[in-house]
Structure 1
Amino acid sequence: MARMAGRRALFAVPVLLAVTFGVFAAAALSPFDPVRAYAGTAGLTASQENLDQIRANLGADRPVTALWWDWLTSAATGDFGASAVMRRPVADVIAERLGWSVLLAGTAFVIAVLLGTVLGVLAARRPGGLVDRTATAAAYTLEAAPAFWLGLLAVWFFAVHLGVLPAGGLTDPGADAVTAGQVARHLVLPAGVLALTQLPWFHLYARQGVADALAEDPVRGARARGLRERTVLCGHALRSGMLPMLTLIGSRIPEVITGALLVETVFSWPGIAAATVEAATSVDFPLLAALTTLATAAVLAGNLLADLLYGLADPRAGFDG
């Protein structure tokens, strides 16, 4: 495990270098002007001389390679620079918002894994049955539904039509403090919607994996020995059939991150979505590079976690990846 983690860490270094440089290069080619975004409404009437002076003060007139290298050397020491559009250190912006994004994505991911696994196992027990047909049809339908559309539909039904859940935000309007109860109520809709976007994959993988395991000789032998169906299902078929799910966990992390950005926007969740959108549209080099690096690191860590879990669940696979 240690050797695998070490190899993956070494592999992550050039990947992160390439990603960060790609962010700076893409931002430089963007039609958005970071100087006008920094100046705001004043940039509409400012003279070209003043805009050029602001550009020089921000360092936006320097070559892309110089901007990237300066940011990279500073980031290596823990200094990610200052966000030009938010007028704050990048580290403060991320620290303020990252926890809420992790809470949303983590809650949704756990719900998707648990509920998808349960539905997949129930469907695999009786292929072609009512549960199988209903859950699988719903999974294929949800798989094709965009996250923002599900979010808007949830807001209309639960917040506007029924009025049982808040439409967005982190706390109730006029609240003086952030309480766990208010956060929990406001988390229900965004976490539920994000979980629905990931649930079909876990359901389909669990259903197919358990169905294949039930047809294997070891499971048939367990049934022939007279073991109870619950023991056969949970002790034999489920363990073998869940191995593909472990690799799925790592591969779904990019989709969770993308879906979280859309869901946070729909529900005005105070995560990193708003910062990401604002950084992209304002060509905020330091903030955009830091957020992209963070997302890339999360994907690499998720893939490593999936491989480690697979190796622990099936020692025959080993840790040679």
Structure 2
Amino acid sequence: MTTQIRSDAERLAAIPRPGSESPVGTGKHAHRPGRSRIAIQLLGRRFLVMIPTVLLVSLGVFAVAAASPFDPLTAHLGDRYQSATQAQRDAVTQAYGLDDHWFTAWWKWWVAVFRGDPGWSSTMRQPVADVIGQRLPFTVGMSLAALLSAAVIAIVLGAVVGMRRGGLLDRACTSLAAMLAATPPFVVSLLLVSVFAVGLGWFPTSGARRPGDDYSLDGLLTHAVLPYLALTISMIPWLLLTMRSAVVDAAVSDAVLGARARGVGGWPLLRGHIVPVSVLPTLALLGTRLPELIAGAAIVETVFGWPGLAEALVDSAVALDFSLLAPLAVGSAVLVLIGSALSDATAVWIDPRIGLRA
């Protein structure tokens, strides 16, 4: 009996653990790469896929622009459109290549981008590079802060309510999350403005600084509170519900039941056995919800007058400013692809057994 127990223990010890590398020359697991190498390989494959995807997205932007019934000359001339002579209209058309075929315009745009000249924005009345350089920090700072806050709140709160399934806190959080998930971001934004800006007067209603003032850290933080809250609140519900559902499923899994039988409970059980498994669906959802983050940022920035790229994206689409619309659309696509790749790579690093290949 002692010999049999020792033999079983040796066989169990020889089984490689997930994420660990087996010694060289120990069978089919001898050359199994580590978790970091698997994640890097996944990122490399996603980068290769990103190149044709970005080209197709940019191609689609120019194709849709060509099919638009609106005249882009109106955006370039603005208030001067009605009073402009035919010679002036022809000159603007020739200068900006508005009569080019959409494929020719797409090709010229990429050539100009590689030369470092993305073009001129007719809506902002300045070079596209200056528009992006001035507005990018506002959008990146706001979106990144909201995304990180929403992820942390959703993961922590989802784990807590998932471990207390059916309790008062669980019912309250799930009901509130379901209600917020059905509420558009602009409604959340208007409610925040009505309560905290108009009603209580605690925060400004719009902008990133007071009229006539220069940008300052204190002014930025004060004006950013409400749009930050609106964007964070719009991101929490689906992440929270996903995390809560994953924790509920993990809590009744064989691995967790076995850990409970061995006397593991409380925080060690949650941290070591439940969260590492439950966080994977949340990370996957985080990558796929980036388009919602971009759309929500566009709505929130428009409502609050936040001087970011999302607001410029809306303005360029309305005014048919395709010199600005094209790089913003391509940049949004790149952001979504990068976010999806990073979320999947993180999931692979946490648990290499999921074996993502594309």
Alignment partners' CA distance in 2, 1:33 and 1:273: 23
Q: Does 1:216 align with 2:253?
A: yes
Alignment partners' CA distance in 1, 2:136 and 2:192: 24
TM-score (norm 1): 0.95
Q: Does 1:288 align with 2:319?
A: no
User: Is this contact kept in 2: 1:33–1:282, CA < 8 A?
Assistant: no
User: Is this contact kept in 2: 1:123–1:132, CA < 8 A?
Assistant: yes
For residue 78 of structure 1, report the CA deviation from its aligned partner: 3.1
Match runs of 1:26-37 below 5 Å: 26-37=64-75
Match of 1:60 in 2: 98
For residue 85 of structure 1, report the CA deviation from its aligned partner: 3.3
Matched residue SS, 2:210? coil
Match of 2:140 in 1: 102
User: Is this contact kept in 1: 2:294–2:310, CA < 8 A?
Assistant: no
What is the identity, as a one-letter code, of the residue corresponding to 1:41? D
Match runs of 1:99-178 below 5 Å: 99-175=137-213, 177-178=214-215
Alignment partners' CA distance in 2, 1:59 and 1:220: 68
Greater mean deviation of Cα atoms: 158-167 or 230-239: 230-239
Alignment partners' CA distance in 1, 2:227 and 2:141: 11
Alignment partners' CA distance in 2, 1:173 and 1:87: 21
For residue 156 of structure 1, report the CA deviation from its aligned partner: 0.4
Alignment partners' CA distance in 2, 1:169 and 1:243: 37
Matched residue SS, 2:81? helix
Greater mean deviation of Cα atoms: 311-320 or 265-274: 311-320
Unpaired runs of 5+ in structure 2? 1-38
Alignment partners' CA distance in 2, 1:15 and 1:234: 38
Match of 1:268 in 2: 305
Match of 1:90 in 2: 128
Greater mean deviation of Cα atoms: 288-297 or 77-86: 77-86
User: Is this contact kept in 2: 1:8–1:304, CA < 8 A?
Assistant: yes
User: Is this contact kept in 1: 2:40–2:345, CA < 8 A?
Assistant: no
Count of residue pairs brought into register by the alignment:
320
Matched residue SS, 2:353? coil
For residue 43 of structure 1, report the CA deviation from its aligned partner: 0.8
Alignment partners' CA distance in 1, 2:208 and 2:147: 19
Q: Does 1:237 align with 2:300?
A: no
Q: Which protein has the larger Cα radius of gyration, Structure 1 or Structure 2?
A: 2
Q: Does 1:311 align with 2:352?
A: no
Match runs of 1:249-264 below 5 Å: 249-264=286-301
Query: CA offsets, 1:32-80, max 9 Å, x none?
Result: 2221221121112223343223212221011111111110122133321
Alignment partners' CA distance in 2, 1:120 and 1:2: 29
Greater mean deviation of Cα atoms: 214-223 or 49-58: 49-58
